[in-house]
Amino acid sequence: MFIVHSTFPVPAEKAAEVIEIYKNRSRLVDKNPGFIRFLLLQTEKNKGEITVHMEWETKEDYLKWVRSTEFKDIHELEKKYPDKELAAIIPTVKQFLVVAE
């Protein structure tokens, strides 16, 4: 299994807005081969630290998604989000290979 975390800081007062955006996400990724699960995580102590957690069967499945037209289209839409502060946030991405369960 391959896991990807995209963690990004948002102003604490805008965290609820970001969570709503993700609750209403397009779900295009869900239809991709090898996709297992999406979770949106929020730290307990810092409400403005949010992580997108995605699980994939393999790294190759994830890379196919990242190279897809749907991925590019979704991320282009993010850049056009009306709240320029949120649109400008660049996440920190970490990738993990599951080595034991």
Domain containing 9 equals 2-97
H helices then E strands: how many in the chain? 4, 4
Q: Are 50 and 82 in contact (CB under 8 A)?
A: no
Examine the pLDDT at 54 and tell me if it is beyond 80.
yes
CATH number of residue 25's parent domain: 3.30.70.100
Question: pTM of this prediction?
Answer: 0.89
User: What percent of the chain is modeled with pLDDT above 70?
Assistant: 97
Mind listing the pLDDT tens digit for each residue in 65-101?
999 999 988 877 676 677 778 878 889 999 999 999 9
Q: How many domains does the chain have?
A: 1
